[in-house]
Amino acid sequence: MNELTTLQSDSSASLWIHNLVDGMAGMTMKAKHAAFCGASRFQKIEIFDTYAFGRVLLMAGNLVFTEKDENIYHEMICHPAMLKHPSPQSVCIIGGGDGGCLREVLKHPTVQRIMVVDIDALVKKTVETYFPAMAKGFSDPRVQLAIDDGCAFLEKCGDQFDVILIDSYDPGGPVQSLETANFYKLVKSRLAPGGIAVFQTDSPVIKSDFLRKTMVGVSPYLSAQRPYICTIPSFPMGICSFLMCANAKKDLDKANTERVNEIAAGCSYFCGDILQGAFLLPKQIRQSLDM
């Protein structure tokens, strides 16, 4: 069952956001007030100002990101793959309408073209209004935007990319096609030689089945796989996982130290030590993945 975010008022008229796992446990944040509430044909989109996490974005009732720690998520889904590729020039971001992943990709000077794909145009419009620092990358001339289902886009697209970042995971949400064998096959077909793909795979503590399922589903197409993790305070159980994939193991082994240091200088979470440590999974997680 997906994370359930509910809003409740206590007896003193305070507004609380409860981000629960299976309705049983999770985190609670106190909100100052609602900043925006709208709906597209796909989902409800809400923004609240909170005391501890700044502005937060909810989509279809799910907490998507917070101002306080969105940088951790976006730095970690992006930079490990971008730095393990020797010279990423073309990048595709599936589900990147919030602009956060795009912002991080644009830190890499080798990039010449970025294709951002998102099924919901209201996401970009909302972020441009309420999180302008995240959305500023859309004005870069190297960026193209496609409002489309990510799977359908890859099926129609004849281009190949050095890095593909799948920044979209929402069981029961508007893009179920991103969890199918056909999608994994399309990702492989759209990777240029030496290309790297990254899938966001939720919490490895409470959703280890999803990470394991993704590894199994991707393996017939991209046999080289390396799961990694990062800590995000607002994420369920505080830990988020990702799966980095390529055609050959050698494509995932090394990162240029000079480039790592250059990128880390412009980040608030990512650095060389984090890049190394992210792939050192705790025993509990390794056992859940049969590693």
158: Cβ–Cβ under 8 A, 6 or more apart, which residues?
none
CB of 79 within 8 A of CB of 259? Answer: no
Burial status of residue 40 (CB atoms within 10 A of its CB: 0-12, 13-18, 19 or more): middle
Q: What is the DSSP letter of 148?
A: S
For residue 167, indicate whether it is catalytic: yes
Q: What is the DSSP letter of 207?
A: -
- CA 36 to chain CA centroid, Å, is 23
| Catalytic residue (choose from 69, 167, 170, 251) | 167
Residues listed for the chain: 291
Burial status of residue 288 (CB atoms within 10 A of its CB: 0-12, 13-18, 19 or more): middle
| Number of Cβ within a 10 Å radius of residue 146 | 17
Catalytic residues: 167
